[in-house]
């Protein structure tokens, strides 16, 4: 008889299980969608009708992206709290090397979202909130059950609406157009019926909700999210598959009964043979009992010092962003960075939108100019310090091209202990009055 090669044996092991009754997974629906906002924290919410498949169904969500995106996702099937899991730490891409296709992987620890978030210095710059020259933005809503930084004691429950989703009319075409991008596994869910006498866990049409959100804004320009929905069907008629499952259940019950009987016989034998060291260990039953009554040295009791609360991950997506009114543009090439929620380790804190002023604009005098000096600064009521280490940055006047607009002061956290706030000012030069935006100045050490 000829001997089989090891590879042939391995192949046979993979083929043999497929010869008997088994489940096959077929495509039920594929959807592809993008997001209308380039910079967003979500949540992205997509509702899918359950197929109610008799034997099981699966949902897999992935992203096809030109850059790293990191967030949290869950597939919600009931009223139970969703278990949001992180995604985006790894991404895969197919490349052609030497005439053959290979898969390369890349590990990520931060999203490529410089376009969407403030720099360390900008996080500490005054939050623009004009009190004149236009409607002022409303106060940001706090996270559920937690006060917002700067609003002591505020705590209300808020609903977070989904951002605008644009679904591709032809999912297969959209996927082909994005096939060269990085593939990122987002989340998955599956249910499978192993007992033919139990009804399916989901009725047809029941809601399956995909929820995706980001602890900080992610740049979703050019990102395509793909949702693949599959259902299970047996390789044999339903009646034969049901008989196959019942046979497996019966064999499992018989195996459990054999294990219980073996345990009972061993217990009876050990109770009748105290000298059996296989039952009681060295010395038999008497040594086993003495091990429980032998005196033990008293353990030293360590008194742990009280510790400060430890930062934690957010329990869910941030609140809905409050409406923002942009203050006047401070320089020719200033770029607006939208406001967003930032997790402090204990609560969500709102980072207001701000103008990002290039250093070249400052150096070349391209900041905004006014026809005259601003009015005297307003007297502001300074609210209590929200957190230790915060610095009060006073309000200032800004010129919008036609009138003066007051930008209110705010408590801000400096980027480091060595940073000092330099207030914005208006400088008189040979061409009139020029605005010099505020900034943090880092002091050199001794």
pLDDT band at 153 (very low <50, low <70, confident <90, very high): very low
Q: How wide is the angle at C-alpha 441 spanned by C-alphas 380 and 446, nearest 5°?
A: 125
Regarding predicted confidence, which is higher, 211 or 393? 211
d(CA 275, CA 5): 51
DSSP H helical ranges for 273-394: 277-280, 284-293, 359-363
Backbone angles phi and psi of 326, in degrees to 5:
-75, 130
pLDDT band at 19 (very low <50, low <70, confident <90, very high): low
Sequence-ordered list of residues with C-beta below 8 angstroms from that of 90, at least 6 positions apart, any chain: 105, 106, 107, 108, 184, 185
Q: Rounded distance, CA 140 to CA 37, Å?
A: 20
Percentage with pLDDT > 70 across the chain: 81
Per the prediction, the chain carries an average pLDDT of 79
pLDDT for position 196: 87
Higher pLDDT, 58 or 5: 58
The pairing of beta strand 354-356 with beta strand 348-351: unpaired
Longest dimension (CA), the chain: 108
**What tens digit of pLDDT does each residue of 343-387 get?**
878 888 777 677 778 888 888 888 888 888 999 999 988 877 755
The average pLDDT across 261-271 equals 91
Asked if residue 59 has pLDDT above 80, the reply is yes
The pLDDT value recorded for residue 64 is 96
* 148-162: average pLDDT: 32
pLDDT > 70? residue 161: no
Question: If DSSP codes are grouped into helix, strand and coil, which group holds residue 135?
Answer: coil
Residue with tokens 């790293």: 68
Most confident listed range (161-165, 269-273, 308-312, 381-385): 269-273
Instruction: Indicate the pLDDT class of residue 152, thresholds 50, 70 and 90.
Output: very low
Q: Is pLDDT at 289 greater than 60 in this prediction?
A: yes
DSSP assignment letter at 87: E
Domain ranges in the chain are 21-120+160-234
User: Can you give the pLDDT at residue 323?
Assistant: 80
Tens-place pLDDT, residues 171-204? 999 999 999 999 999 999 998 888 888 888 788 8
Over residues 9-34, the mean pLDDT reads 73
Banded model confidence at residue 67, pLDDT cuts 50, 70, 90: very high
């Amino acid at each position: 008889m000829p001997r089989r090669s090891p590879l042939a044996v391995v192949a046979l092991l993979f083929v043999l299980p497929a010869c008997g009754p088994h489940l096959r997974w077929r495509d039920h629906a594929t959807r592809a969608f993008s997001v209308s906002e380039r910079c967003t924290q979500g949540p992205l919410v997509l509702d899918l009708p359950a197929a109610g498949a008799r034997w099981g169904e699966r949902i897999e969500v992935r992203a096809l992206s030109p850059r790293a995106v990191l967030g949290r996702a869950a597939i919600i099937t009931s009223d139970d709290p969703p278990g949001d899991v992180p995604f985006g730490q790894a991404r895969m891409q197919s490349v052609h090397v030497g005439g053959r296709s290979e898969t390369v992987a890349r590990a990520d620890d931060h999203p490529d979202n410089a376009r969407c978030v403030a720099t360390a210095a900008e996080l500490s710059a005054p939050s623009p909130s004009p009190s004149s020259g236009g409607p002022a933005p409303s106060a940001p809503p706090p996270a559920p059950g937690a006060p917002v930084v700067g609003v002591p004691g505020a705590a209300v429950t808020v609903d977070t609406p989904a951002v605008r989703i644009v679904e591709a009319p032809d999912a297969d075409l959209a996927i082909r157009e994005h096939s060269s991008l990085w593939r990122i596994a987002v989340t998955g869910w599956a249910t499978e019926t192993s007992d033919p006498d139990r009804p399916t866990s989901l009725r047809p049409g029941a809601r399956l909700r995909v929820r995706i959100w980001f602890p900080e804004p992610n740049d979703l320009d050019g990102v395509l999210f793909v949702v693949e929905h599959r259902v299970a069907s047996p390789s044999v008629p339903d009646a034969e598959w049901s008989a196959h499952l019942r046979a497996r259940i019966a064999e499992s019950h018989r195996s459990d009964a054999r294990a219980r009987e073996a345990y009972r016989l061993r217990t009876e034998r050990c109770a009748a043979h105290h000298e059996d060291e296989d039952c009681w260990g060295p010395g038999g039953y008497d040594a086993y009992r003495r091990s429980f009554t032998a005196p033990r040295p008293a353990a030293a009791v360590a008194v742990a010092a009280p510790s400060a609360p430890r930062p934690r991950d957010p329990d869910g997506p941030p609140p809905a962003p409050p409406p923002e009114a942009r203050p006047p543009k401070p320089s020719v090439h200033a770029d607006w960075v939208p406001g967003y929620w930032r997790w402090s380790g204990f609560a969500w804190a709102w980072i207001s939108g701000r103008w990002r002023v290039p250093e070249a604009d400052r150096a070349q005098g391209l900041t905004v100019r006014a026809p005259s000096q601003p009015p005297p600064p307003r007297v502001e009521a300074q609210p209590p310090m929200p957190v230790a280490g915060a610095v009060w940055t006073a309000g200032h006047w800004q010129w919008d091209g036609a009138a003066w607009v007051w930008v209110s002061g705010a408590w801000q956290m400096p980027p480091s202990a060595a940073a000092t706030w330099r207030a914005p000012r208006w400088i008189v030069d040979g061409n009139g009055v020029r605005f010099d935006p505020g900034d943090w100045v880092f002091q050199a050490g001794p």
